[in-house]
Structure 1
Amino acid sequence: MHTNQQVVLKVMNLEKSFYLRKVLDNIQFEIKNGERIGLVGYNGTGKTTLANILIGKISPDKGVIEKSTDLTIGFLSQSIDYEVSDFHQSLAGSKSKGIFQHASELGLHKVFDWEEDRLNHLSGGEKLKLALSMVWATKPDLLILDEPTNHLDFHGIEWLVTELEKFQGPVLIISHDRHFLDKTVKRVFELEHGKLHFYNGNYSDYRKEKQHRVENQQHQYSVQQRQIEMVELQMEQLKSWSEKGHRNSTKQGRDFGPKEYHRVKAKKRDNQVKSKMKRLQNELEKNKFEKPAEEVQIRFQFDTQGKRGKRIIEAKRLKKSYKDRTLFYNANFYINHGERVGLLGGNGCGKTTLIKMILDQESYTEGDLWRSDSIKIAYLSQDVDDLPSDKTSIEALGFTDRESVLKARTLLANLGLKEALINKPIGTLSLGERTRVKLVDMLMKEYDVLILDEPTNHLDLPSREQLENTLSEFTGTIITVSHDYYFLNKLCERLLVFENQQIQRFEMKPEEYFNKDVKKEVNHEEALLIIENKIAMILGELSIIDQKDPKYRVLDQEFKELLKQKKELIG
């Protein structure tokens, strides 16, 4: 890591608004050499907008960005839809050697041999790996990565963590991946209501400190509210005395002296009230504590009708291949109603292809894939760009009757999509906000099977946690592809593992699957210990009995058998 803490990029008084909504308000910060910064915040708060301003893709309404003219910024965009044409250009260009090297480190071998057809059938993960290789090959001075782990498999995430450790320049990472942020960042910038807040440490440190700050703010706000109540009470008292004074001064009567006394007293009270009011207002203006914003509560609700037949999907000797590449062959597995099944495997092994085969969107080469006709399937794909960009959320969902529109609006609001956003064209929404619109579409209709392809990719953390909790209440079947191991582990109790062109079913959670080799080693050691203990006991017995004793032969035989077992275990 660089000890040189020179400022690489400086941002001053940055402002940006869209459709009268200020997403960035007087933003100021510096990025120093070697820093590792995580940029976090709810979906739609302007994180990607800030990244696009830093790289010069969009202009701010106001503000200055100071950086040296020769600063190369490597930018990984969140939506990896710079499709095949970009890859063709880059793979043919002068930097291609570096791209091939990085691609092979990420598990994409012989990229230079890939034909047009192969580049047209890239999985989300393969696209991301190629895009990452392209960014790395530009030899950047500063890296800005927008959701870099969204489509990466476990191997890819580990590679990225290691590469970032080796990288000398500063890195700004926009991410909702808790595990990844904890492993990589040392500072956190949080974007909230257009303002930037700064925290030291990794993601877990930020959550603790944020909680502490919110509690502190809540306390100060409560103290101030009590002060205000007290002062208001005093003022009420003064007012009532003042009014009483005015009343007494106007009472009919001959005695002018007391009337004048009450009038002067009332006037004095009026002045006291006014100066007290002024003092209070000044004090509040100086030290005003806002009520802390509540964390958005997100609710999903699912409803699925009675149980269907037990087995809903079954594959026999299933094979899928393209011209020069076999994804998998001789696959035999089944899925029962109500199961939560995670699809595990490296990028490009055929997980999304299998989903498309289950949905009848893709054919298979050999074998058989049976699906129950009585099931209703909902599919949330990785691609959230297929919603009509000129329509609002409600228009895109296509509901017209009052009850459905009301329910959809409530669901969108529960998902954190504010009223103002519901009425905006989908084209202006962030990818996370679009994912919510798709989720509402699934929630409004009663499905038996949910197929989720990277469902947490564009969701912010509160939404991820809420989705985990809600899906655990869903009584139907869930089939999911996810590289968010936190999410997968919480949700799935069975796996279909894609490895060496095979698909195998495992009755275990991802955590158990990843630790199964460790378990084997432990069991191996335990077995060895048991055998050695038995051998010691038999040797002890053999040393005290006569060789002519009939028991001697039995023990001797057992001793030889145990030696044989020990040899096998060691060998």
Structure 2
Amino acid sequence: MIICSIKEIGKSYGGNIIFDNLSLEINEKECIGLVGRNGSGKTTLLKIIAGIETQDTGQVHWKKGLKTGYLAQVPDYPRDMTVEDVLKTAFQSLLDTQLKMTQLETEMGKEKEQVKLEKLINLYGELQDYFIQHGGYEIDSSIDRVVNGLNIASLLPQLFNQLSGGERTKVGLALILLKNPDLLLLDEPTNHLDLQAVEWLGSFIREYSGTVILISHDRYFLDEVVNKIVDLEDGELQVYHADFTGYAKEKEERLLIEFQAYQEQQKKIRKMKEAIKRLKEWANRANPPNEGLHKRARNMERALERMVKLDKPLLNRKKIEVDFDGLERSGKDVVTFKEVAKSYDSRVLFEQVNMHVQYGEKVAIIGENGTGKSTLIKMMLEYVFPDKGEIKLGSNLNIGYLSQHVYSNSLKHTVIEEFRNEVHVSEGEARHILARFLFYGHSVFRKVNQLSGGERMRLRLAQLMCKDINLLILDEPTNHLDIDSVEVIEEALEGFHGTIIAVSHDRYFLNRLFNRIYWLEDQTVHCFEGNYEWAKQKMVELRQLKESPSKTTSHKDVNTLEIKAEKDKLLILEQEIEQIEYSISEIHKKMRKETELQSLQALQYEVNRLELRRNVIYEELEKAEGE
């Protein structure tokens, strides 16, 4: 059943057309992923569906009585309201009913007249039926389920108005989930969430009884929860009945088919124009001119005018160009932690932390929010120092740091000023480099405080690319970026020959790039040789081992799984080589069929990148076999 119908809607801001003539049908129990580049109008469309904004043209129809839930901006609440009070507003009608029931109980205890007492009892019964039917006795358990899943239980007693922006957003998300609307609309719901909370949210949405539309750049999350992708590109909507991976594959196939159809039509148009030209030449050679040939030429011209011209599909859209070339090698040992501990006041963040990162390795640090991931990063940068233990940084290190909180101290600078503060080049050269990161024309004179989170990340990447960096330290590098930009960064990082240490909750990013995971939990770090999926599996086993009542868990027992993970490193590397070999083989098949030079060059570039990665893995295999 259709619960929302969008018919030929359009929206503009200040003369700038965001989209026009969009149509979409939203059905019951669908889980839709709304994707598209930053600035394509996804959030605007979501707000129109929510009824928060109105379209300029067209119509939107909702099913009668439809309840929608959208987290636009968390409102302010009275100063004395705690987080628990705020979350209970999701059940306001039930709480009002409960209050009436309490008042009726008092009245029934005082009433002596039988007829009035029976009326009160009947009214109480009706209210109680409503209260039970709508889950009134499960309010506390519902709140517990959501706050524990989102890992915000510790916030319940705190005053809402004293929370940080990120904490407010998480509480707002919890509030929307507790309201249980028929149509749940989520805009980047995984931002500010740690990995455990993201996985819980995924399972919550999969079991959700209503309809869900979400905007997300988290490809792993989209693959987990959605069964339909709506792609908003160049002001047009395309619908794909697939998860994100299926959508990406189908979109590529569609584009190739459309491009082939466009080429065929262009060939036909050229032939028709040549035929028209020849007919006119032949007609004019005759004396007098041959009217019959002129008539055939005019008929062909009219047919050409009536032909519905296909737009040329853009196979290679403008993307940021990231290339970390020309690095100077650092020493073999890059970062070493020995028995490191850190506390703030009476709170222990972590203790007995041991890490060893060598040149060329790509390692990730993950864990719940507040466990100390960013503190470990700051220790590597020597912004923070340990209470106990020793930290050694390698020789000849040139560190590039990309933080999710970039440019907090330079918001009044223009883009080009901020770029040239760190990269000493002429204005012309600076503009040329910034154009590779999609800062064109007058956009280089925008203030940094006017940039979105994704634009600030692009500016920082432009600065880092121009430096001779051999150690990249990344703190949530994929935050605020659209999927196209994230994929470009991933490709650049795959080809980076230096060392990468990253904090991230982007599981797709973690699985693609990193083959060692440092997992922060219970005030210590666990090391796993493998990608995120492997580390997650081993952490589950590790927790079960710790929680097992039948064993007395020793330090040796806890480390058993980590040792096993190291032994399985060989298997992981061999499987990755097999996958690369298969990918290279498939690309060679495509190359044999391809005729366009630009496409052939792109395919060859991909082969070169995969072969480079394969060589790195062979080196890792030799190293692992020698240990």
TM bucket, shorter chain: 0.7 to 0.9
Q: Aligned match of 1:322 in 322, 344, 354? A: 344
> What CA deviation, in whole Å up to 9, does each residue of 1:444-502 have, x standing for no partner?
22223211122223333333332222112212221111222222122223232212101
Amino acid at match of 1:34: K
CA offsets per residue over residues 86-111 of structure 1, 9 Å max, x none?
99764443627555541123334443
CA distance in 2 between counterparts of 1:387 and 1:436 reads 17
Task: Provide the residue aligned with 1:225 in structure 2.
Answer: 266
1:136 aligned counterpart, secondary structure: helix
Q: What is the CA RMSD across the aligned residues, in angstroms?
A: 3.7
Q: CA deviation at 1:401?
A: 0.7
Is 1:193 paired with 2:234? yes
Q: Could you say which residue in structure 2 is the equivalent of 1:305?
A: 327
- For the structure 1 residues 411 and 37, does the alpha-carbon distance in structure 2 shift closer, same or farther, using more than 3 Å as the test? same
Q: Distance in 2 between matches of 1:210 and 1:375?
A: 42
> Pick from 430, 434, 440: which aligns with 1:409?
434
Q: Using a 3 Å threshold, how does the CA distance of structure 1 residues 73 and 117 change in structure 2: closer, same or farther?
A: closer
Q: How many residues are aligned here?
A: 489
Paired position in structure 1 for 2:579: none
Scaled by the length of structure 2, the TM-score of the pair is: 0.68
Residues 213/306 of structure 1: CA separation in 2 closer, same or farther (3 Å cut): closer
In structure 1, which of residues 13, 26, 31 is the aligned counterpart of residue 8 of structure 2? 13
Matched, 1:471 2:466: no
| 1:62-461 alignment, distance < 5 Å | 62-67=57-62, 71-76=66-71, 90-93=83-86, 95=88, 99-114=143-158, 119=163, 129-245=170-286, 262-263=287-288, 265-266=289-290, 269-282=293-306, 284=307, 287-296=308-317, 298-303=320-325, 305-371=327-393, 374-383=396-405, 386=408, 393-398=415-420, 401-402=426-427, 404-413=429-438, 430-461=452-483
Query: Unaligned 5+ residue runs, structure 1?
Result: 246-261, 524-571
C-alpha offsets along residues 158-180 of structure 1, whole Å, 9 cap, x if unaligned?
A: 31122113322210011232322
Taking the aligned partners of 2:239 and 2:388, their CA distance within structure 1 comes to 56
How many angstroms apart in 2 are the aligned matches of 1:127 and 1:326?
25
> Which stretches in structure 2 are left out of the alignment for 5+ residues?
90-139, 543-559, 565-627
Secondary structure at the aligned position of 1:331 is classed as strand
Aligned position for 1:502: 524
CA distance in 1, matches of 2:285, 2:409: 68
Q: Following TM superposition, by how much is the alpha carbon of 1:515 offset from its aligned partner in structure 2, in angstroms?
A: 4.2
Identity over aligned pairs, percent: 34
Cα distance in 2 between the residues matched to 1:219 and 1:304: 39
For 2:329 and 2:252, locate their aligned partners in 1 and report how far apart those are by CA, in whole Å: 42
Give the distance between the partners of 2:62 and 2:262, measured in 1 at CA. 40
Q: Which amino acid aligns with 2:212?
A: V
SS in 1 for 2:156: helix
In 2, distance between residues paired with 1:470 and 1:483? 19
SS at match of 1:236: helix
Provide closer, same or farther for how the CA distance between residues 72 and 453 of structure 1 changes in structure 2, counting only shifts above 3 A.
farther
Equivalent residue, structure 2, for 1:489: 511
Cα deviation for residue 81 of structure 1 reads 9.6
Structure with greater contact order relative to length (CA < 8 Å, sep ≥ 6): 1
- C-alpha distance in 2 between matches for 1:150 and 1:367: 33
**Residues 345, 351 of structure 1: 8 Å contact kept:** yes
1:200 deviates by 1.4
**Contact 1:95/1:138, CA 8 A, preserved across alignment:** no
Deviations, residues 285-311 of structure 1 (Å, cap 9, x unaligned): xx3222211133553111353223333
Cα distance change, pair 500–142 in 1 and its aligned pair in 2 (3 A): same
Partner Cα distance (2:171, 2:484) in 1: 30
Deviates most, 12-21 or 201-210: 12-21
TM-score of the superposed pair, with normalisation by structure 1: 0.75
Q: Partners in 2 of 1:134 and 1:479 — Cα distance?
A: 35
For residues 34 and 143 of structure 1, the distance between their equivalents in structure 2, rounded to whole angstroms, comes to 10
CA gap of 1:110–1:103, structure 2 versus 1, over 3 A, is same
Per-residue CA deviation, residues 398-436 of structure 1 (Å, 9 max, x unaligned), is: 3661453244234214xxx66686676666655434432
Give the letter aligned to residue 320 of structure 1.
K
How many Å apart are 1:332 and its aligned residue? 2.8
User: Shift of the alpha carbon at 1:240?
Assistant: 1.6
Query: Given the alignment, which residue of 31, 39, 54 partners 1:36?
Result: 31
Q: Which amino acid aligns with 2:226?
A: V
> Is 1:143–1:170's contact at 8 Å kept on the other side of the alignment?
yes
| Distance in structure 1 (CA, Å) of the matches to 2:47 and 2:284 | 62
Alpha-carbon distance in 2 for matches of 1:15, 1:193: 13
> For residues 384 and 64 of structure 1, do their structure 2 counterparts lie closer, same or farther at Cα, with a shift above 3 Å needed?
farther
Query: Comparing both structures, which one devotes a greater share of its residues to helix?
Result: 2
- C-alpha change, 1:481 and 1:91, in structure 2 (3 Å) is same
| 1:95 maps to amino acid | K
Instruction: Name whichever of 146-155 and 62-71 sits farther off.
Output: 62-71
Query: SS of the counterpart of 1:93?
Result: helix
Alignment check: 8 A CA contact 1:43 1:433 kept: no
Deviation at 1:220, TM superposition (A): 1.8
Counterpart Cα distance in 1 of 2:418 and 2:66: 42
Amino acid in the other structure paired with 1:305: L
Structure number with larger C-alpha Rg: 1
Deviations 1:218-248 (A, max 9, x none): 2221221121121111111122224434xxx
